[in-house]
A and B are shown apart, each in its own frame.
Chain A
Amino acid sequence: MKLSLAPISYFWPKADVQAFYKRVADSPVDRVYLGETICSKRRELSLDDYLRIANELRASGKEVVLSTLTLLEAAGELKELQRYCDQSDFLIEANDLAAVQRVAERGGSFVAGNAVNCYNASTLKRLVDMGMKTWNPPVELSREWLVELLDDPVARSIRSRLEVEVFSFGYLPLAYSARCFTARSEDRPKDDCRLCCINYPNGRTVYTQEDDPIFTLNGIQTQSGQRYNLLSDIDSMRGLVDFVRLSPQAEATFDWIDQFHNAIHNDPISIEIPESDINGYWHKLEGMRQL
């Protein structure tokens, strides 16, 4: 099993992003995803900036994948997507079928992100036939679902051509909307958002009226209110999962990278995750629970 680092889901200043990836270069992560996946108005870094970082990370031995926007609506967004899909130096992470179609047209291969709806072996095979190299299952799927899916003869016939990657740490990507909830939380219309997401490097936490964290607002994306953490479930991934995917946070990401790296490479030791973390989906429970 290898470690992958998801694209930064929040909106960070350019200097912070660059500093972050300088540290990633020295971390035990095997694969790094780069790019803006949430909002096309977040333009601290351009494609050229990302390519520069990508080349540096590659030089330090990392496999680099360029991630693309999830909710594509405007013509300009498709045009930008085309620029990503036209380059062939780096693998593309498709988060919408528009990206799948574009990469497949030039005979390229791609990673399917977890917002691409692939729930069964026949869909999986179709995507592999179109060039999918790595599959990120929808985050709501359990280990059991994965085992049953991959046990299907249709899936077995392509398993050797496919890597399976599971979202294992960070706030779960749960929904995408036309509405910008961060702008709304500041009582601003989306058209006049003033890029306020940049003030919330970990998003904004939403609490119930009983003060339990329930969601995290990240622009047009809604994330889980509590952190997903499969550190204590690493053993149950062996032989099933090829990449353990971690989502960057503003703090302590590198400590968690080390902990996951140790858990993967050392003998199984009993690890407990913080009480406030969750792992329900993996155990076929509601996502917000911890087993």
Chain B
Amino acid sequence: MELLCPAGSLVAVDTAITNGADAIYVGLKGGTNARRFAGLNLTVEQLTEAATRAHSHGRKLHVAINTFVHPKGFEQWQEAVDISVRCGADVLILADIALLDYAATQYPNVERHLSVQASATNLGAIDFYHRQFDVRRVVLPRVLSMPQVRALARGTDVPLEVFAFGSLCIMAEGRCYLSSYMTGESPNTAGACSPAEFVRWSEEGEDMVSRLNGVVIDRFQPDEQAGYPTLCKGRFRVEDNTYHVLEEPTSLNTLSLLPDLYNEGIAAVKIEGRQRSPAYVAQVTRVWRQAIDEVKRDPNRFQVRSTWDETLARLSEGHQTTLGAYHRKWN
């Protein structure tokens, strides 16, 4: 079982290596990946350097090129594939059929992983991508329960990767347009969800109000911690009831499922957060490295250490974590 950690900068790449990541995933600057943030992601030179550093430590570098190709933009996305291969990427994480086709034809020997943005949630879809583009791994969307993950793992020969920790998307990734509905920019087309340039804060009376492109996402009283207005985690009203209609501000944490995931032969656990700081990468990587080593020693005797949970909770949205859809009750 591989520990796959995020990096939005060269410093974060180093941090992930030092703290025990087996592989690191990054994105190129520009709109070709689903974490398009100012000051984030690597230039071509940095990507080469990242690959060199990863390889010198025996680790792998994955490059996410997982937004969808624009009608006049195929060359830009093709170039991102060419550059990644040239720079020494071990794996391309892809979602768009056109790009999967391009990579499979041009670079058949460079491993292709199906991005979570491709939204493959069942054996039929996995079969489609495996047969059409020979994907060597599928990253599962965060909408599946543990029994469903188990059924997929037992039903396919294609290795599977799951999200283990980090921000929780509650919608099937790649099939959510809530962000473009509100701002015009979505993960699929612009590599962004609830983009920061649309966020406004204002004090109204004693309350702090967060808005996304003018729409009130939440209103915080003085004793409440005000969180980033991710649009699916706001408080809205249904009839007379004002609550977190879609989801609370919380992060995914699957430490307690690690033995199950290990026993089912899950190929990799992925840490979310290319947009987070190197300090986040360091702490999360360290915890998960220890946990994976322990589960490998003896999955039956594995126990989550309270210090791990505490560290992860501190790094989570609203200091809360959840098993999300992996746990049937969440649904």
Tell me which residues across on chain A come within 8 A of B251, comparing CB atoms: none
Partner of A180, one of B184, B213, B331: B331
Asked if A81 and B74 make an inter-chain contact with CB atoms under 8 angstroms apart, the answer reads no
For chain A, what secondary structure do more than half of its interface residues adopt (helix, strand, loop), or is it mixed?
mixed
> How far is B46's CA from A99's CA once the two chains are assembled, in angstroms?
41
Q: Smallest distance from the beta carbon of B245 to chain A beta carbons, Å?
A: 5
Q: How many pairs, one residue from A and one from B, have CB atoms within 8 Å of each other in the complex?
A: 215
Chain A CB within 10 A, most for which of B71, B97, B239? B71
> How far is B216's CA from A211's CA once the two chains are assembled, in angstroms?
10
Asked if A208 and B178 make an inter-chain contact with CB atoms under 8 angstroms apart, the answer reads no
CB-nearest residue of chain B to A285 = B184
Asked if A96 and B325 make an inter-chain contact with CB atoms under 8 angstroms apart, the answer reads no
Asked if A119 and B177 make an inter-chain contact with CB atoms under 8 angstroms apart, the answer reads no
Partner of A191, one of B74, B121, B186, B331: B331
Tell me which residues across on chain A come within 8 A of B234, comparing CB atoms: 208
Known A97-B129, A122-B101; contact A176-B171, beta-carbon cutoff 8 A: yes
The interface stretch among B14-22, B140-148, B280-288 is B140-148
Hey, what's the 0/1 contact readout for A57-81 against B, CB within 8 Å counting as 1? 0000000000000111111011001
Known A119-B70, A122-B69, A175-B171; contact A185-B96, beta-carbon cutoff 8 A: no
Tell me which residues across on chain A come within 8 A of B151, comparing CB atoms: 74-75
Q: Smallest distance from the beta carbon of B281 to chain A beta carbons, Å?
A: 28
Partner of A209, one of B148, B242, B325, B328: B242
Tell me which residues across on chain A come within 8 A of B176, comparing CB atoms: 174-176
Known A117-B95, A210-B216, A224-B181; contact A204-B238, beta-carbon cutoff 8 A: yes
Asked if A209 and B216 make an inter-chain contact with CB atoms under 8 angstroms apart, the answer reads yes
Asked if A209 and B235 make an inter-chain contact with CB atoms under 8 angstroms apart, the answer reads yes
Partner of A177, one of B101, B170, B216, B237: B170
Known A119-B68, A126-B101, A214-B236; contact A286-B124, beta-carbon cutoff 8 A: no
Partner of A117, one of B118, B127, B219, B237: B118
> How far is B122's CA from A102's CA once the two chains are assembled, in angstroms?
13
Known A101-B124, A178-B143, A189-B331; contact A117-B241, beta-carbon cutoff 8 A: no
B189 interface residue (CB < 8 Å to A): yes
> How far is B252's CA from A67's CA once the two chains are assembled, in angstroms?
33
Which residues in window 179-237 of A have CB below 8 A to B?
A: 179-181, 184-185, 189-191, 204-212, 214-215, 217, 222, 224
Partner of A215, one of B74, B131, B236: B236
Which residues in window 88-107 of B have CB below 8 A to A?
A: 95-98, 101-102
Tell me which residues across on chain A come within 8 A of B246, comparing CB atoms: 177, 179, 181, 215, 222
Tell me which residues across on chain B come within 8 A of A5, comparing CB atoms: none
Tell me which residues across on chain B come within 8 A of A98, comparing CB atoms: 122-125, 127-128
Asked if B71 and A149 make an inter-chain contact with CB atoms under 8 angstroms apart, the answer reads yes
Partner of A140, one of B71, B118, B189, B331: B189
Q: Smallest distance from the beta carbon of A256 to chain B beta carbons, Å?
A: 21
B57 interface residue (CB < 8 Å to A): no
A92 interface residue (CB < 8 Å to B): no
> How far is B247's CA from A180's CA once the two chains are assembled, in angstroms?
11
Which residues in window 107-129 of B have CB below 8 A to A?
A: 118-125, 127-129
Tell me which residues across on chain A come within 8 A of B155, comparing CB atoms: 75
Which residues in window 163-177 of B have CB below 8 A to A?
A: 170-172, 174-177
B183 interface residue (CB < 8 Å to A): yes
Asked if A179 and B325 make an inter-chain contact with CB atoms under 8 angstroms apart, the answer reads yes
> How far is B174's CA from A62's CA once the two chains are assembled, in angstroms?
33
Asked if A123 and B143 make an inter-chain contact with CB atoms under 8 angstroms apart, the answer reads no
What are 22 A-to-B residue pairs whose CB atoms are below 8 Å? A71-B172, A73-B144, A73-B148, A74-B151, A98-B127, A100-B128, A117-B97, A119-B70, A121-B98, A126-B98, A138-B177, A172-B181, A174-B176, A177-B246, A178-B170, A180-B331, A181-B245, A191-B328, A204-B239, A206-B236, A217-B238, A222-B246
| Given A97-B124, A121-B74, A175-B232, 5 new contacts (CB under 8 A) | A119-B96, A122-B69, A145-B71, A209-B216, A287-B181
A-side residues, CB < 8 A to B, are 70-75, 77-78, 81, 96-102, 115, 117-123, 126-127, 138-140, 145, 148-149, 151-152, 172, 174-181, 184-185, 189-191, 204-212, 214-215, 217, 222, 224, 280-281, 284-288
Q: Which 6 A-B pairs have the closest CB atoms?
A: A98-B124, A122-B98, A178-B143, A287-B181, A119-B68, A148-B71
